[in-house]
């Protein structure tokens, strides 16, 4: 038989278990202030709590004594509150104003010198509503900057999952393939064995039905930003570009069954502050976009390969027309022009032999002179046809 109890009944039983004793009972407190900066909850109380060494400490009243007390931001009110430090030093999971915390009195920093030197610590927030966003029993403000959203729900958990969630629709799932839940689990639909690991990090779950209280689940094409680390799962990612290489098309994420890392967002930036960005692939590296690919370099762009193919033929095959070598083409054209100049010189001085002796041939001589002038102009232009930015071998 199952029993339903309210949180008041739950709290009334705290301290009456085998983990506490009369000298060191577990208590429940209600939070009225949290130290996060030198101005919270006030400058005076920041110093009273211990300054920067007290970051994460809370100002609280015992739960039974906090009934119908809303509190305020005055120093006089906070002077009436007790102070508790966070129990965990490496896990910054501070409560919101109004939430209930579980307290334990334990040794303080000076307990080695004074055995009676104790300090209250809070070990966590009481999960009243099983909601990752907030669990405050009252409707008061939750903080100076925190605003409650209407579409935040816990993630749906499958057997064996370990899930860590933030308050604002972000979280990490350490999960696995669960084929029996493939109707709701996108990563469990390829028929692979149950239990294959998957890690999903999401920032910004998208909830389409804000009126529902059902748990959320990851959907890669709806999330704001996500990272998927798979083992054998296929992921139904819709690529952001429709243009793909017609010759060497890679398998889409929805068809690939080996381990893959997927970064998905409206914009992705990879930045190296001091050194190189290195990309290595055993097979292909593909860059696809419906718009423009820009490659910008302060010195030069170096493409080193056995063959560079530009474009695709109409029959979807690789191009077979070779490009010309600029330097050799220039020298060859210059040689042709020099030959034409010599020819023009011969033509401009050509004569015909008659009874009167050698006579000029005006039509040929004039044509030769004009040809020499035209070829000279072409030679001048040859110096401008070579690029000073693009080079090939």
Q: Render pLDDT for 102-130 as a digit per residue (tens, 0 to 9).
A: 999 998 888 777 777 889 999 999 999 99
Assess whether pLDDT exceeds 90 at residue 276. Answer: yes
Give the chain's mean pLDDT.
Answer: 88
- Is pTM, for the whole model, over 0.85? no
Band the pLDDT of 29: cuts 50, 70, 90.
Answer: very high
pLDDT, tens only, 236-245:
999 998 877 7
Q: What pLDDT is recorded for position 112?
A: 77
Using an 8 Å Cβ cutoff, are 253 and 236 in contact? yes
pLDDT, tens only, 139-168:
678 888 898 888 888 999 999 999 999 999
Assess whether pLDDT exceeds 80 at residue 22. Answer: no
CA 260 distance to own-chain centroid: 15
Assess whether pLDDT exceeds 70 at residue 342. Answer: yes
Assess whether pLDDT exceeds 70 at residue 86. Answer: yes
Assess whether pLDDT exceeds 90 at residue 247. Answer: no
Q: What pLDDT is recorded for position 139?
A: 67
Assess whether pLDDT exceeds 60 at residue 32. Answer: yes
State the residue for tokens 């054998």.
232
Assess whether pLDDT exceeds 90 at residue 49. Answer: yes
Report how far residue 157's alpha carbon sits from residue 255's, in angstroms, rounded to the nearest whole number.
Answer: 25
Report how far residue 356's alpha carbon sits from residue 359's, in angstroms, rounded to the nearest whole number.
Answer: 8
CA 156 distance to own-chain centroid: 23
Half-sphere exposure of 86 (CA within 13 A, CB side): 17
CA-CA distances (angstroms) from residue 44 to 39, 40, 132, 287, 349? 8, 9, 31, 57, 107
**Strands 162-165 vs 58-62: parallel, antiparallel or unpaired:** unpaired
Q: What is the mean pLDDT of residues 90-97?
A: 93
Assess whether pLDDT exceeds 70 at residue 246. Answer: yes
Q: What pLDDT is recorded for position 244?
A: 77
């Amino acid at each position: 038989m199952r029993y339903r109890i309210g949180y008041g009944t739950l709290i009334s039983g705290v301290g009456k278990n085998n983990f506490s004793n009369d000298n060191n009972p577990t208590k429940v407190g209600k939070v009225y202030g949290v130290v996060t900066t030198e101005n919270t909850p006030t400058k005076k109380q920041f110093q009273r709590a211990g300054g920067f060494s007290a970051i994460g400490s809370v100002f609280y009243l015992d739960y039974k004594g906090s009934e119908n007390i809303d509190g305020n931001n005055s120093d006089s009110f906070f002077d009436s509150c007790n102070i508790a430090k966070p129990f965990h030093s490496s896990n910054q999971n501070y409560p919101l104003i109004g939430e209930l915390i579980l307290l334990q009195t334990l040794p303080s920093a000076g307990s080695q010198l004074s055995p009676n030197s104790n300090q209250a610590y809070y070990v966590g927030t009481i999960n009243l509503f099983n909601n990752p966003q907030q669990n405050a029993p009252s409707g008061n403000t939750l903080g100076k900057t925190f605003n409650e959203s209407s579409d935040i729900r816990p993630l749906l958990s499958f057997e064996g999952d370990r899930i860590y969630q933030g308050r604002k629709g972000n979280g990490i799932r350490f999960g696995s393939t669960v084929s029996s839940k493939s109707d709701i689990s996108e990563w469990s639909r390829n028929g692979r064995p149950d239990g294959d690991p998957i890690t999903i990090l999401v920032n910004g779950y998208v909830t389409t039905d804000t009126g529902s209280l059902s748990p959320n689940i990851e959907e890669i094409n709806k999330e704001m930003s996500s990272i998927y680390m798979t083992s054998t799962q296929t992921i139904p990612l819709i690529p952001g570009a429709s243009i793909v290489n017609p010759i060497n098309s890679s398998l889409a994420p929805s068809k690939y069954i080996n381990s893959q890392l997927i970064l998905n967002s409206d914009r992705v930036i990879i930045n190296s502050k001091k050194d190189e960005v290195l990309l290595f692939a055993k097979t292909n590296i593909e860059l696809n976009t419906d718009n423009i690919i820009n490659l910008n370099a302060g010195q030069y762009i170096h493409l080193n390969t056995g063959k560079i193919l530009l474009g695709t033929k109409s029959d979807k095959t690789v191009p077979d027309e070779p490009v010309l070598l600029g330097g050799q083409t220039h020298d060859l054209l210059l040689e042709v022009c020099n030959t034409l100049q010599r020819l023009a010189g011969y033509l401009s001085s050509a004569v015909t032999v008659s009874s009167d002796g050698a006579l000029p041939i005006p039509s040929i001589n004039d044509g030769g002179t004009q040809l020499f002038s035209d070829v000279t102009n072409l030679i001048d232009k040859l110096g401008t046809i070579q690029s000073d930015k693009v080079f090939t071998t």
